[in-house]
Amino acid sequence: MNFFGKMIGFIVGWRFGGFFGAIAGLILGHLADKKLYELGSVNSTFFKNKLTRQSLFMQTTFAVLGHLSKAKGRVTEDDIALATSLMQQLNLDDAGRRLAQEAFNRGKQADFPLRQVIREFRLGCGQRADLLRMFLSVQVKAAFMDNELQMAEKEVLQIVAEELGLSRFQFEQMLAMELAARHFSRGGFYQQSGSYQQGSYQGYQQQGQYQNSYQQSGPTLDDAYKVLGVSATDEQQTVKRAYRRLMNENHPDKLVSKGLPPEMLEMAKEKAQQIQAAYDLICKAKGWK
């Protein structure tokens, strides 16, 4: 984040308004820095021009989705349909759709420089951990849209996670969290009045594919723990800290101000709703206030 606006605001405010003027100038300067960061451009050798951070986020998202589709051997009609479905969910305009399609097609190429693209993306996002995790979350969610994660897809996601600065343990934990979060999606938990079922999901490997199979329909208490990245034996304070941290990391407005495309705001909101629903379920089951 730039500090130029805050510095100028503080100096001007102090000169004309003393202490309180400096505080007001600092606040206005902070808002100016945020807007300059949001509108600022970044370089991309892969996309060949200067982009806003939000455009970089969007194009990198679809380029990696194209690479994920190709990793399975060949891009099928189902893969194209999934990408098209995501474009529709994001309500992209014609220009945005063309950019997304071009990025997707470039990601399918055999010489797609995955590590280079992700490194440039990470630098373009200012290495902001919450924004980078949201990017990976979108990729994992898209990979599971067909209810399975093939080994080739997982290997691609592992490379993305590695270049974004996540350890293997953090990556595996994110996979478990995303799998569990699928049972807290709209139309599921939100319409069940906070009810839960005892049971658990199983992630198993079969013929090189990772699939998720639920023993019961609807979210389970085990799902809720995995969404928050906690265990059943954790104390209330530990669970609450995990919940607050995740809500802060996935706050939609904060993510947009840091570079998340406005079109992905609904995805961020859904992520926050899943976290809230999981926490509410645990509190109800434990009798916590």
pLDDT over 70 for what percent of the chain?
72
- Residue 71 near residue 156, CB atoms below 8 Å: yes
- N- to C-terminal Cα separation, the chain: 38
Residue with more model confidence, 102 or 189 = 102
Which of 284, 263, 129 lies closest to 198 in space, CA to CA? Answer: 284
* DSSP assignment letter at 128: -
With 0.95 as the threshold, say if the pTM is over it.
no
Residue type, 140: V
The closest alpha carbon to 217, from 184, 194, 193, belongs to 184
Domains and CATH numbers, the chain: 1-39 (no CATH), 53-166 (1.10.3680), 168-188+220-288 (1.10.287)
Q: Match 């990017």 to its residue by tokens.
A: 135
Question: How much is the pLDDT for 31?
Answer: 52
Q: pLDDT at position 51, please?
A: 78
Six token digits for residue 173: 């934990």
Q: Would you state the structure tokens that stand for residue 131, as one six-digit string?
A: 């924004």
Q: What is the pLDDT of residues 69-78, one digit of tens each?
A: 888 777 778 7
Specify the higher pLDDT residue, 222 or 257. Answer: 222
Size of the chain in residues: 289
The answer to whether the beta carbons of residues 25 and 63 sit under 8 Å apart is: no
- Find where tokens 């479905």 sit: 85
Beta bridge partners of 211: 148, 204
- The answer to whether residue 192 scores a pLDDT higher than 50 is no
Question: Which residue is associated with the tokens 């500090």?
Answer: 3
Mean pLDDT of 176-196: 58
pLDDT confidence tier of residue 43, bands split at 50, 70 and 90: confident
3-class DSSP state of 213: strand
Beta bridge partners of 214: 201
What's the pLDDT at 239? 93
Look-up of token digits 């308004």: 17
Separation CA 126–CA 36 (nearest Å): 13
pLDDT confidence of residue 67: 92
Task: Tell which residue, 272, 283, 286, 277, has the closest CA to residue 189.
Answer: 277
Q: Could you tell me which residue, 85 or 122, shows the higher pLDDT? A: 122
Residues 233-239, mean pLDDT to the nearest whole number: 93
Could you read off the pLDDT of 118-168 as tens digits, one per residue? 999 888 877 678 778 888 988 888 777 777 778 888 999 999 999 999 899
Nearest one of 71, 164, 66, 154 to 121, comparing CA atoms: 164
Q: Is the pLDDT of residue 276 over 50?
A: yes
For the record, the structure tokens of 224 come out as 């809720």
How far is it, in rounded angstroms, from Cα 13 to Cα 33?
A: 16
Phi–psi pair at 180, nearest 5 degrees: -65, -35
Bigger pLDDT: 156 vs 252: 156
Report whether 221 contacts 281 (CB < 8 A). Answer: yes
Q: Which two tokens stand for residue 102?
A: 């071009």
| pLDDT at residue 103, as a whole number | 92
